[in-house]
């Protein structure tokens, strides 16, 4: 694993954006695995700025997002599709027909998971997967469990995740209880993984993920087995590791 130590959130965002920009520059038709949440917003802002300066183009890029809430329409402000449009896609030249997020309103969950897994395969897998880290060690919405789920699946969100995501909704009852997520197998097949973490709230889980045992009880710990992980974390997130 490569560790890039950042000073703070802004620095982490810039460094993560640099890695993504380098990926697109070297391979314009890269398949990017993208994440939502607070962690990547700054990186997306930096990418938008680079695009506006003419330094990068997403015109040939494919994007495949990690996850989506079950039950939310694409145009719902809390949906991850809406988040991606607002925070990245609407501001760059990406072809939205080639930017994928699971369909939260799919009639048949099994079919939707198979369709999504098919998209990942159709484009030859993910070149660079951007990941945030959940407080309970989840990546995507792979929550602590008895087994590592391999492929895209429907998952029941844990109380801890519902509480963490409550900030995006008017009230806790509005937070969806289920989500679609790429599986651990789908995630670790990515050729290059960039995990970003900022803030003291991530310090303990980051330490447990990389210095503790590899266990489905802490899904991010599987990253210890991946040959090409780059951790970009700021000093507070890294405070228990260095
Ligand atoms: C989001 C996702 C989640 C988040 C994680 C961290 O698409 O897959 O795993 O990356 O919950 O969220 P933040 O960045 O808000 O701390």
- Ligand 1 mean position, distance from CA 138 (Å): 8
pLDDT in tens, 3-20: 999 999 999 999 999 999
Phi, psi angle pair for 31, to nearest 5°: -100, 115
> What's the pTM value of the predicted model, to 2 decimals?
0.98
Whether residue 242 is predicted with pLDDT greater than 90 in this model: the reply is no
With a 6 Å cutoff on the Cβ, whether 99 touches ligand 1 is: no
Amino acid 118: pLDDT? 98
Percent helix, percent strand, percent coil in the chain, to nearest 5: 40, 20, 40
- When pLDDT is averaged across residues 176-189 and rounded to a whole number, the result is 97
With a 6 Å cutoff on the Cβ, whether 64 touches ligand 1 is: no
- Ligand 1 mean position, distance from CA 27 (Å): 26
What single-letter DSSP state applies at residue 158? P
Segment (H or E) for 196: strand 192-197
pLDDT in tens, 151-178: 999 999 999 999 999 999 999 999 999 9
Contact present, 7 and 234 (Cβ < 8 Å): yes
Q: Which residues are catalytic?
A: 67, 136, 138, 143
Confidence of residue 22 (pLDDT cuts 50, 70, 90): very high
Amino acid 119: pLDDT? 98
Pocket test for ligand 1, best of 9, 12, 33, 37 (most atoms within 8 A of CB): 37
Amino acid 109: pLDDT? 98
Contact present, 63 and 98 (Cβ < 8 Å): yes
Whether residue 113 is predicted with pLDDT greater than 90 in this model: the reply is yes
Burial code of 141-162, b = ≥16 C-beta within 10 A, e = fewer? bbbbbeebbeebbbbebbeebb
């Amino acid at each position: 694993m490569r560790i890039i130590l950042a000073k703070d959130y802004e620095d982490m965002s810039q460094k993560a954006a640099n890695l993504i920009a380098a990926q697109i520059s070297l391979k314009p038709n890269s398949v990017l695995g993208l994440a939502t949440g607070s962690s990547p917003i700054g990186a997306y802002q930096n990418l938008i700025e680079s695009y506006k300066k003419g330094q990068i183009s997403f015109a040939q890029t494919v994007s495949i997002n990690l996850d989506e809430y079950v039950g939310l329409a694409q145009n719902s402000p809390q949906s991850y599709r809406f988040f991606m449009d607002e925070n990245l896609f609407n501001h760059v030249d990406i072809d939205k027909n080639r930017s994928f997020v699971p369909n939260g309103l799919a009639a048949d969950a099994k079919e939707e998971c198979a369709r999504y897994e098919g998209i990942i395969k159709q484009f030859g897998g993910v070149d660079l997967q951007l990941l945030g880290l959940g407080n309970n060690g989840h990546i995507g919405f792979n929550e602590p469990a008895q087994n590592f789920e391999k492929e895209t699946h429907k998952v029941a969100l844990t109380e801890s995740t519902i509480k963490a995501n409550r900030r995006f909704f008017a009230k806790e009852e509005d937070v969806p209880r289920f989500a679609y997520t790429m599986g651990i197998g789908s995630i670790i097949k990515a050729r290059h993984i960039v995990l970003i973490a900022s803030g003291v709230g991530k310090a303990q889980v980051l330490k447990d993920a990389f210095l503790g045992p590899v266990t489905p009880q802490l899904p991010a710990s599987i990253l210890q087995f991946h040959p090409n992980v780059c951790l970009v974390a700021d000093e507070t997130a890294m405070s228990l590791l260095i």
